[in-house]
Amino acid sequence: MSVSTDKLDLPMITDHDWTTDHWKKFWNSAPVIPFQLNEFNPELLKREKMLFPIPDKKYRVLFPLCGKSYDMKWVADKGHTVIGVDCSEKALTDFFNEHGMTFVVKNDGSFKILQSTTAGCNIMLYVGDFFNLPSASFEKCDAVFDYGSVIAIKPEERRKYADVINKKTTRDVNYLLCAFDFNGYMDPKPPTYANSPVMVVDAFGDIFNIKPILDVDRERYLRGVPKPVAREHYYYLTKK
Ligand SMILES: C[S@@+](CC[C@H](N)C(=O)[O-])C[C@H]1O[C@@H](n2cnc3c(N)ncnc32)[C@H](O)[C@@H]1O
Protein backbone atom coordinates (compact mmCIF):
# COMPACT_ATOMS: atom_id res chain seq x y z
CA MET A 1 0.00 0.00 0.00
CA SER A 2 1.35 3.44 -0.83
CA VAL A 3 1.76 6.31 1.63
CA SER A 4 0.14 9.59 0.62
CA THR A 5 2.54 12.50 0.81
CA ASP A 6 -0.47 14.75 1.69
CA LYS A 7 -0.46 13.40 5.22
CA LEU A 8 3.24 13.92 5.81
CA ASP A 9 4.77 16.93 7.46
CA LEU A 10 7.11 17.76 4.58
CA PRO A 11 7.03 21.47 3.77
CA MET A 12 9.09 20.86 0.61
CA ILE A 13 6.35 18.76 -1.07
CA THR A 14 4.41 20.87 -3.59
CA ASP A 15 1.81 20.59 -6.34
CA HIS A 16 3.93 22.45 -8.90
CA ASP A 17 7.07 21.49 -10.77
CA TRP A 18 10.38 22.62 -9.33
CA THR A 19 12.86 24.75 -11.26
CA THR A 20 16.46 25.32 -10.20
CA ASP A 21 15.21 28.54 -8.53
CA HIS A 22 12.90 26.50 -6.31
CA TRP A 23 15.83 24.27 -5.37
CA LYS A 24 18.03 27.28 -4.61
CA LYS A 25 15.33 28.80 -2.36
CA PHE A 26 14.87 25.45 -0.66
CA TRP A 27 18.58 25.08 0.15
CA ASN A 28 18.79 28.70 1.35
CA SER A 29 15.87 28.41 3.76
CA ALA A 30 15.46 24.76 4.85
CA PRO A 31 16.39 24.22 8.52
CA VAL A 32 17.16 20.56 7.71
CA ILE A 33 17.73 18.81 4.39
CA PRO A 34 15.34 15.86 4.58
CA PHE A 35 17.18 13.69 2.03
CA GLN A 36 20.67 14.36 3.38
CA LEU A 37 22.50 11.22 4.54
CA ASN A 38 25.21 12.18 6.99
CA GLU A 39 27.20 9.04 6.29
CA PHE A 40 28.95 7.34 3.40
CA ASN A 41 26.69 5.20 1.23
CA PRO A 42 27.33 1.58 2.28
CA GLU A 43 26.53 0.31 -1.22
CA LEU A 44 29.21 2.59 -2.70
CA LEU A 45 31.74 1.33 -0.17
CA LYS A 46 30.95 -2.28 -1.13
CA ARG A 47 31.26 -1.51 -4.85
CA GLU A 48 34.51 0.42 -4.93
CA LYS A 49 36.06 -2.12 -7.33
CA MET A 50 33.15 -1.85 -9.73
CA LEU A 51 33.50 1.92 -9.97
CA PHE A 52 37.30 1.96 -9.86
CA PRO A 53 38.37 -1.36 -11.42
CA ILE A 54 42.00 -0.52 -12.22
CA PRO A 55 44.11 -0.60 -9.05
CA ASP A 56 46.16 2.56 -8.39
CA LYS A 57 44.45 4.47 -11.23
CA LYS A 58 43.12 7.84 -10.17
CA TYR A 59 39.66 8.36 -11.64
CA ARG A 60 37.68 11.50 -12.45
CA VAL A 61 34.30 10.98 -10.84
CA LEU A 62 31.14 12.84 -11.83
CA PHE A 63 28.48 13.37 -9.12
CA PRO A 64 25.36 14.67 -10.93
CA LEU A 65 22.98 16.73 -8.74
CA CYS A 66 25.34 16.13 -5.84
CA GLY A 67 23.82 18.29 -3.08
CA LYS A 68 26.27 17.99 -0.19
CA SER A 69 26.68 14.23 -0.45
CA TYR A 70 29.25 12.78 1.95
CA ASP A 71 30.21 10.29 -0.77
CA MET A 72 32.21 13.00 -2.56
CA LYS A 73 34.50 13.20 0.46
CA TRP A 74 34.97 9.44 0.56
CA VAL A 75 35.89 9.33 -3.14
CA ALA A 76 38.27 12.32 -2.84
CA ASP A 77 39.93 10.75 0.21
CA LYS A 78 40.74 7.75 -2.03
CA GLY A 79 42.77 10.10 -4.24
CA HIS A 80 40.28 10.44 -7.10
CA THR A 81 39.14 13.75 -8.58
CA VAL A 82 35.53 14.71 -7.85
CA ILE A 83 33.38 16.83 -10.17
CA GLY A 84 30.09 17.59 -8.42
CA VAL A 85 27.27 19.54 -10.02
CA ASP A 86 24.37 21.22 -8.26
CA CYS A 87 22.35 24.37 -8.89
CA SER A 88 22.59 25.39 -5.24
CA GLU A 89 25.74 27.25 -4.24
CA LYS A 90 24.60 26.96 -0.62
CA ALA A 91 24.62 23.14 -0.83
CA LEU A 92 28.13 23.18 -2.26
CA THR A 93 29.61 25.72 0.17
CA ASP A 94 27.96 23.80 3.03
CA PHE A 95 29.73 20.68 1.78
CA PHE A 96 33.16 22.31 2.04
CA ASN A 97 32.41 24.08 5.32
CA GLU A 98 30.93 21.02 7.02
CA HIS A 99 34.01 18.96 6.11
CA GLY A 100 36.44 21.70 7.19
CA MET A 101 37.77 22.21 3.65
CA THR A 102 38.86 25.46 2.03
CA PHE A 103 38.13 26.46 -1.57
CA VAL A 104 38.60 29.14 -4.19
CA VAL A 105 36.05 30.38 -6.71
CA LYS A 106 36.67 30.07 -10.45
CA ASN A 107 34.52 30.12 -13.58
CA ASP A 108 33.92 27.74 -16.47
CA GLY A 109 31.39 28.98 -19.05
CA SER A 110 28.08 29.66 -17.31
CA PHE A 111 29.27 27.76 -14.23
CA LYS A 112 30.87 29.07 -11.08
CA ILE A 113 33.36 26.48 -9.77
CA LEU A 114 34.18 26.02 -6.11
CA GLN A 115 37.54 24.31 -6.13
CA SER A 116 39.05 22.75 -3.03
CA THR A 117 42.37 24.13 -1.82
CA THR A 118 42.69 21.55 0.93
CA ALA A 119 45.83 19.46 0.42
CA GLY A 120 45.25 16.05 -1.17
CA CYS A 121 41.61 16.80 -1.89
CA ASN A 122 40.76 17.21 -5.58
CA ILE A 123 37.17 18.41 -5.58
CA MET A 124 35.61 20.79 -8.07
CA LEU A 125 31.98 21.68 -7.43
CA TYR A 126 30.11 23.22 -10.36
CA VAL A 127 27.30 25.62 -9.46
CA GLY A 128 24.64 25.72 -12.16
CA ASP A 129 22.00 23.91 -14.15
CA PHE A 130 23.04 20.35 -14.94
CA PHE A 131 21.52 20.65 -18.40
CA ASN A 132 24.11 23.34 -19.24
CA LEU A 133 27.00 21.03 -18.40
CA PRO A 134 27.98 20.32 -22.03
CA SER A 135 29.21 23.96 -22.15
CA ALA A 136 31.69 23.32 -19.31
CA SER A 137 35.23 22.59 -20.46
CA PHE A 138 36.43 20.05 -17.89
CA GLU A 139 38.14 16.86 -19.02
CA LYS A 140 35.68 13.96 -19.41
CA CYS A 141 35.02 11.78 -16.37
CA ASP A 142 35.68 8.03 -16.30
CA ALA A 143 33.42 7.20 -13.37
CA VAL A 144 29.98 8.38 -12.27
CA PHE A 145 28.29 8.01 -8.89
CA ASP A 146 24.66 8.99 -9.27
CA TYR A 147 22.60 8.59 -6.11
CA GLY A 148 18.99 9.70 -5.68
CA SER A 149 19.16 12.31 -8.43
CA VAL A 150 17.12 10.79 -11.25
CA ILE A 151 13.89 11.20 -9.25
CA ALA A 152 14.54 14.97 -9.08
CA ILE A 153 14.42 15.12 -12.88
CA LYS A 154 11.04 15.16 -14.63
CA PRO A 155 10.50 11.89 -16.55
CA GLU A 156 10.30 13.71 -19.89
CA GLU A 157 13.76 15.22 -19.29
CA ARG A 158 15.55 12.01 -18.32
CA ARG A 159 16.79 11.11 -21.80
CA LYS A 160 18.34 14.56 -21.98
CA TYR A 161 19.87 13.97 -18.54
CA ALA A 162 21.39 10.68 -19.76
CA ASP A 163 22.70 12.46 -22.84
CA VAL A 164 24.49 15.10 -20.72
CA ILE A 165 26.18 12.32 -18.77
CA ASN A 166 27.13 10.66 -22.04
CA LYS A 167 28.72 13.89 -23.31
CA LYS A 168 30.78 14.47 -20.17
CA THR A 169 32.13 10.93 -19.77
CA THR A 170 34.69 8.75 -21.53
CA ARG A 171 33.92 5.71 -23.69
CA ASP A 172 35.07 3.34 -20.90
CA VAL A 173 33.16 5.03 -18.05
CA ASN A 174 31.98 2.98 -15.07
CA TYR A 175 28.66 4.36 -13.89
CA LEU A 176 26.97 3.38 -10.63
CA LEU A 177 23.37 4.58 -10.63
CA CYS A 178 20.88 4.44 -7.79
CA ALA A 179 17.36 5.37 -8.89
CA PHE A 180 14.53 5.08 -6.39
CA ASP A 181 11.23 3.42 -7.15
CA PHE A 182 8.33 4.84 -5.09
CA ASN A 183 5.78 2.39 -6.51
CA GLY A 184 3.90 0.78 -3.63
CA TYR A 185 5.74 2.96 -1.10
CA MET A 186 4.61 6.57 -1.41
CA ASP A 187 3.10 8.92 -3.95
CA PRO A 188 5.88 11.17 -5.25
CA LYS A 189 5.12 14.85 -5.66
CA PRO A 190 7.51 17.59 -6.79
CA PRO A 191 10.36 17.91 -6.16
CA THR A 192 10.39 14.13 -6.60
CA TYR A 193 8.93 12.36 -9.63
CA ALA A 194 7.87 8.82 -10.40
CA ASN A 195 10.47 6.29 -11.45
CA SER A 196 10.63 2.56 -12.10
CA PRO A 197 13.06 0.03 -13.61
CA VAL A 198 11.18 0.36 -16.92
CA MET A 199 11.66 4.13 -16.85
CA VAL A 200 15.38 3.69 -16.20
CA VAL A 201 15.66 1.55 -19.32
CA ASP A 202 13.66 4.11 -21.27
CA ALA A 203 15.89 7.01 -20.16
CA PHE A 204 19.32 5.36 -20.28
CA GLY A 205 18.91 2.32 -22.51
CA ASP A 206 19.80 3.93 -25.84
CA ILE A 207 23.23 4.96 -24.58
CA PHE A 208 24.12 2.52 -21.82
CA ASN A 209 24.13 -1.18 -21.09
CA ILE A 210 22.19 -1.44 -17.84
CA LYS A 211 22.98 -4.17 -15.35
CA PRO A 212 20.72 -4.27 -12.26
CA ILE A 213 22.91 -5.14 -9.29
CA LEU A 214 20.77 -4.72 -6.20
CA ASP A 215 17.46 -3.48 -4.91
CA VAL A 216 16.86 -2.74 -1.25
CA ASP A 217 14.28 -0.92 0.84
CA ARG A 218 15.18 2.71 1.25
CA GLU A 219 14.99 2.97 5.02
CA ARG A 220 16.56 6.39 5.32
CA TYR A 221 14.98 8.55 2.64
CA LEU A 222 13.25 11.73 3.85
CA ARG A 223 13.45 12.42 7.55
CA GLY A 224 10.18 12.09 9.44
CA VAL A 225 8.51 9.80 6.91
CA PRO A 226 7.25 6.33 7.92
CA LYS A 227 9.74 3.73 6.71
CA PRO A 228 10.52 2.34 4.21
CA VAL A 229 9.65 5.02 1.68
CA ALA A 230 11.13 3.72 -1.56
CA ARG A 231 12.97 0.84 -3.12
CA GLU A 232 16.58 1.70 -3.96
CA HIS A 233 17.56 0.15 -7.30
CA TYR A 234 21.27 0.07 -8.05
CA TYR A 235 22.54 -0.39 -11.60
CA TYR A 236 25.95 -0.69 -13.19
CA LEU A 237 26.05 1.17 -16.51
CA THR A 238 28.62 0.99 -19.28
CA LYS A 239 28.45 2.57 -22.73
CA LYS A 240 27.06 0.57 -25.64
C1 LIG B 1 17.20 14.70 -4.28
S2 LIG B 1 18.57 15.78 -4.25
C3 LIG B 1 19.91 14.61 -4.47
C4 LIG B 1 21.09 14.98 -3.66
C5 LIG B 1 22.33 14.07 -3.69
N6 LIG B 1 22.46 13.26 -4.88
C7 LIG B 1 22.49 13.26 -2.43
O8 LIG B 1 22.88 12.10 -2.51
O9 LIG B 1 22.28 13.81 -1.34
C10 LIG B 1 18.51 16.61 -5.79
C11 LIG B 1 19.56 17.72 -5.95
O12 LIG B 1 19.55 18.17 -7.29
C13 LIG B 1 19.73 19.57 -7.35
N14 LIG B 1 19.13 19.94 -8.66
C15 LIG B 1 17.86 19.78 -9.06
N16 LIG B 1 17.71 20.13 -10.35
C17 LIG B 1 18.94 20.52 -10.79
C18 LIG B 1 19.46 20.96 -12.04
N19 LIG B 1 18.68 21.08 -13.13
N20 LIG B 1 20.78 21.26 -12.12
C21 LIG B 1 21.60 21.14 -11.04
N22 LIG B 1 21.16 20.71 -9.83
C23 LIG B 1 19.85 20.40 -9.71
C24 LIG B 1 19.06 20.10 -6.10
O25 LIG B 1 19.58 21.33 -5.66
C26 LIG B 1 19.33 18.98 -5.09
O27 LIG B 1 20.49 19.23 -4.33
| pLDDT tens per residue across span 9-50 | 455 778 888 899 999 999 999 888 878 888 888 888 899 999
Contact indicator for 217, 176 with CB cutoff of 8 Å: no
Q: How many domains does the chain divide into? A: 1
Q: Per-residue confidence at 4, pLDDT binned at 50, 70, 90?
A: low
Tell me how far apart the alpha carbons of residues 107 and 15 are, in angstroms, rounded to a whole number: 35
Q: What is the pLDDT of residue 16?
A: 86
Model pLDDT for residues 90-128, shown as the tens digit of each residue? 999 999 999 999 999 999 988 999 999 999 999 999 999
pLDDT band for position 211 (50/70/90)? Answer: very high
Ligand 1 touching residue 178 (CB < 6 A): no
The preferred substitution site among 12, 14, 68, 149 for testing ligand 1, maximizing ligand atoms within 8 Å of CB, is: 149
The atom number, within ligand 1, closest to the CA of 192 reads 1
Ligand 1 atom, smallest distance to 65 CA? 12
State how far the Cα of 14 lies from the Cα of 33, in Å rounded to an integer: 16
Q: Is 91 in the pocket of ligand 1 (CB under 6 A)?
A: yes
Q: How far is the CA of 95 from the centre of ligand 1 (A)?
A: 13
Q: Which domain holds residue 149?
A: 5-239
C-alpha 70 to ligand 1 mean position (Å): 14
70 Cβ contact partners less than 8 Å away, ≥ 6 residues apart: 37, 38, 39, 40, 41
- pLDDT bracket for residue 76 (50, 70, 90): very high
The number of residues in the chain equals 240
Residue 67 Cβ < 6 Å to ligand 1: yes
- CB 195 near ligand 1, within 6 Å: no
Tell me what pLDDT residue 1 has. 45
pLDDT at 220: 56
Determine the Cα–Cα distance for residues 78 and 25; give it in Å rounded to an integer: 33
- Residue 58, domain CATH: 3.40.50.150
